Chain A
């Protein structure tokens, strides 16, 4: 049995608009048999935080193109993407790419 994990979620670049404009969320993922990974976190976010228009956030089992995911201030590509196992106190950031000027 893996213990519960407390993490900080941040949304920016407009992605926060999908979460009532709230940029920072402190959440605790409940304990479960398997350790939490990013793939499960995305499902959890969809069920618990994201109420409307999931297509603006996820596509398939990953984030939609144009959203950059950062794990502790590094591109998630460097950390194993969907397979990254969440640690207590991790900081996960979802940034929507901007196209304006």
Chain B
């Protein structure tokens, strides 16, 4: 009898444990289901961020090492939890920025990017992994951020910022600032104007090659982006990461710097980067801070008599497109350009010709077609004598292979088919004077088109 009671009690205890385990599992599943991240394709209203009255024990443990700082303390930590930050762009700067803001316990993070993750992003956009290729960057970043700190509310936006949606979006981040890293010039003016019109500070940074820059705009009476740059730069003077290259850690450092300034502002300390330009030279490992001009009374958007009182057409204003993608030039008439398919058949028929690759040496080292002669566009523009001589030698050799008086054909190639057109124009001037007369054509789409359409084993970069 007593033994039976003990046995039943043990069985009952076991069942109770099972039930408790099942309940726990159910609760976890329900929790993760309700909080599954919703990728937003357009701007929709957000519920107001709930203000925390006090830190819970878990918060105290999680943030203990920063709570010990008198500069932050409990008050600063609570301020962070009340702050919403919009991160414009989830790339080389946006990734470390979002990561450190989330780790530090920011309240809400809007993560905006119109692009998808590509293999060539991973060297610098460190929140995305190999398995995220093809996924929306905003979603990939939001998932990574949530693994780090599930108490931060993440709002991923897969859309392009435009004059139609920018104000509505930025106004939804009321407690705080927009923090932006922005690749292209029109988007810089757009974000600046939207921040000025809605009264938000803009923590802005950029990085290219081995250089970084950071400024906090529209903050504590300081200048906005337009105060400094009332006129946009000519489009042909602007280089992006896919043209100029960038060492991944450089935007990493600048993104961390942005996170620092956002955290200072959000926690109630001041940023010292208003009316300052911080420049980072990665080559010389040197930071430098420059005092900028104050807010300009004549500024078109934040001045005394603003002309820009609502968002305008920024692509027209800047004369360039609001994407990070490469420009396509059309400098040459159609009959002076051939396709990669045309060139393939010239090669197959072994027609005598010269293939001139005008990319810089650093790119030729990455990949090239075996028969090509490399003379960089810059050498042609500078008319470097050793290169002109080399070109003339190859033209003479070609002439010997050809019958008749026909001008030897020279096909010019580069990465995308932009520089090759400029090179044809430069060579036109040399033809018949500094070198023998030649017949010049460029190859549309360049080596990247060759890789896509003719030889898939040829690398893309």
Q: Are B233 and A98 touching (Cβ within 8 A)? A: no
| Complex Cα gap A95–B231 (Å) | 16
A70 interface residue per 8 A CB criterion: yes
- The answer, yes or no, to whether B387 is at the interface (CB within 8 Å) is no
Inter-chain contact A68/B185, CB cutoff 8 Å = no
**Cβ of B239: which chain A residues have Cβ within 8 Å of it?**
14, 99-100
Return the chain A residue nearest B211 by Cβ.
A13
Segment of B3-11, B90-98, B140-148, B364-372 engaged in the interface with chain A: B90-98
Chain A 2-20 interface residues, beta-carbon cutoff 8 Å to B:
12-14
Size band of the A side of the interface? Answer: 20 to 34
A11-B9 Cα distance, complex, nearest whole Å: 83
Contact between A100 and B208, CB atoms less than 8 A apart: yes
Residue pair B279, A51 in contact (C-beta under 8 Å): no
Any chain A CB within 8 A of the CB of B112? no
Once A64-B233, A100-B244 are accepted as A-B contacts, the answer to whether A77 and B293 lie under 8 Å apart by CB is yes
Residue contact A101 to B293, C-beta cutoff 8 Å: no
A35 proximal to B (CB < 8 A): no
A78 within 8 Å of B by Cβ? yes
Asked whether B381 lies within 8 Å of A52 as measured between CB atoms, the reply is yes
CB of A84, distance to nearest CB on chain B (Å): 13
Closest A-chain residue to B242, C-beta based?
A: A100
Q: Is B292 an interface residue (CB 8 A)?
A: yes
Assuming A14-B211, A64-B237, A95-B279, is B182 touching A101 (CB within 8 A)?
A: yes
Chain B, interface residues (CB within 8 Å), range: 35 or more
Task: Check: B257 CB closer than 8 A to any chain A CB.
Answer: no
Flag if B238 contacts A101 (CB, 8 Å): no
The interface residues of chain B lying within 8 Å CB-to-CB of A96 are 237
Q: How far is the CB of B95 from chain A (nearest CB, A)?
A: 10
A17 to chain B, nearest CB (A): 9
Interface of B is mostly: mixed
**Contact across chains for A101 and B290 when beta carbons are under 8 A apart:** no
| Residue ID in chain A nearest B212 by CB atoms | A98
Task: Across the interface, name the chain B residue whose C-beta is closest to A67.
Answer: B233
**B193-216 interface mask toward A, CB cutoff 8 Å, 1 = contact, 0 = none?**
000000000000111110111000
Determine the chain B residues whose CB is within 8 A of the CB of A70 once the complex forms.
290
Q: Is the CB of A99 within 8 A of B234?
A: no
Residues in chain A near residue B231, CB distance under 8 A: 65
Contacts A65-B229, A65-B231, A99-B239 given; does A74 touch B206 at CB 8 Å: no
Q: How far is the CA of A65 from the CA of B188 in the complex (A)?
A: 15
User: Are A75 and B290 in contact, CB atoms less than 8 angstroms apart?
Assistant: yes
The CA-CA distance from A53 to B91 in the complex, in Å, is 32
Q: Judge whether A73 is part of the interface by a CB distance below 8 angstroms.
A: yes
Taking CB atoms, residues of chain B closer than 8 Å to A68 are: 228, 277
Q: Which residue of A lies closest to B258 (CB)?
A: A101
Q: Given A12-B211, A66-B233, A95-B279 in contact, is the A101-B251 Cβ separation under 8 Å?
A: yes
Q: Within the complex, which residue of A51, A65, A99 is in contact with B183, where a contact is CB–CB below 8 Å?
A: A99
Contacts A52-B381, A75-B293 hold; do A14 and B233 have CB atoms under 8 A apart?
Answer: no
Q: Contacts of A59 on B, CB cut-off 8 Å?
A: 234
8 Å CB contact of B92 from A13, A56, A65, A101? A101
Q: Which residues of A contact B290 (CB under 8 A)?
A: 70, 73-75, 93
Report whether A98 and B206 are in contact in the complex, using a CB–CB cutoff of 8 Å: yes
Residues of B within 8 A of A12 (CB): 211, 279, 281
Give the complex CA separation of A70 and B291 in angstroms. 9
Query: Counting CB contacts under 8 A, is A97 at the interface?
Result: yes
Closest to A70 in B: B290
Nearest 4 CB-CB pairs, A to B? Answer: A66-B233, A100-B208, A77-B293, A65-B231
17 new A-B contacts, CB < 8 A, other than A14-B208, A75-B293, A100-B241, are A12-B211, A14-B209, A52-B378, A52-B381, A55-B234, A56-B236, A64-B233, A66-B238, A74-B290, A75-B292, A99-B184, A99-B239, A99-B240, A100-B207, A100-B244, A101-B89, A101-B254
By a beta-carbon cutoff of 8 Å, the part of chain B in contact with chain A is 89, 91-94, 181-185, 188, 205-209, 211-213, 228-234, 236-241, 244, 246, 251, 254-255, 277, 279, 281, 288, 290-293, 378, 381-382
The 8 sampled A-B contact pairs (Cβ below 8 Å) are A51-B382, A53-B381, A75-B290, A100-B208, A101-B181, A101-B182, A101-B254, A101-B255
